Amino acid sequence: MRREFERWMVKKERKKPNTAYQYAQSIDKVSNHYSNHAQRNVDLYRILDTDMLRKIKEDYSLHGKFSEFGGKGNGTIRNAVATYYRYRVEWALNSPIAVEEESVPLDNESKVSDDELTFNLSYERDLQSSMILQINTLFPEYQIFGGDTLEGVEFAINGKRIDILLEHKERSELLAIELKTGIGDFKVFGQIAMYLGLLEERFPGYDCSGVIVCGQVDESLSLACKMSDRVSVKQYNIQIVLTDHDPSRP
């Protein structure tokens, strides 16, 4: 849905590609912010109910209960939510543009590769949202950089984006978290090492370290991490709990 939203903004509303990208990123930030306050995972890209999206849009409007967050980036967040609401209303009405976007691949990419990419990105967003809700449990000594503003979610620095940036509650320490839904290899180590270098330049008074969170660990990543004690690796496990449904209860 995110890729289609970006295309729609460029094609329908004549927004610049960079603006479309920023708006699409903002929707992810709103999803994380809203999830944090609702205490449950909410992904705006998966919401089909336009009435619910309208309510969320109003919450982040100039006079909504999340107006302060909506005003971040000179109103970029608020404008992004309003734009996404317009897109979903048009999409729900089966507009010609929505149909065209679904049927025509971008840049000669096959539909299979698009579907796979969408699945991976969606899964990574779910992992990110779940971790954000459990930061106090997973990293009890840290908090998300920027507090309630969630500035540390997809923290932008020198044209790069750190998945989650945490700050120590008492000491001048920063912890960069890089998420990998599949197999983490040495390339991920190089990526997070670059982030640490950028953070040290931006925050010279802070001690910076990193954590790679992945589903599986490639041997090359294990070898790379032996060269530095500032980067650690953690594997995540997804647990599914099933409960019996009682048909006598609504």
Banded model confidence at residue 249, pLDDT cuts 50, 70, 90: low
Q: Which of 132-141, 144-153, 241-250 has the lowest mean pLDDT?
A: 241-250
Lookup: tokens for 154:
């997809």
Tokens 């698009």 belong to residue:
114
pLDDT digits (tens, 9 = 90+) for 47-66: 878 889 999 999 999 889 99
Reported as a pLDDT band with limits 50, 70 and 90, residue 248 is confident
CATH class for domain 114-235?
alpha beta
Parallel, antiparallel or unpaired: strands 231-235 and 207-217: parallel
- Give whole-number Cα distances, 223 to 19, 122, 211, 212, in Å: 40, 29, 15, 14
Please state, rounded to an integer, the average pLDDT across all residues of the chain.
82
How far, in Å, are 64, 111, 182, 189, 191 from residue 127 at the CA level?
Answer: 28, 24, 11, 19, 19
d(CA 7, CA 110): 16
Boundaries of every domain in the chain: 1-94, 114-235
What CA–CA distance (Å, rounded) separates 106 from 220?
34
Structure tokens at 28: 């992810």
**Band (108; pLDDT cuts 50, 70, 90):** very low
* pLDDT of the residue at 250: 56
Sorted by sequence, the CB contacts under 8 Å of residue 183 that are 6+ apart come out as 214, 215, 216, 217, 218
Residue 19 has pLDDT above 60, yes or no: yes
In sequence order, the 6+-apart residues with CB closer than 8 A to the CB of 9 are 15, 19, 20, 23, 24, 83, 87
Average pLDDT over residues 90-101: 50
pLDDT digit string, tens, across residues 111-127: 434 444 444 445 666 77
Q: Is residue 154 pLDDT above 70, yes or no?
A: yes
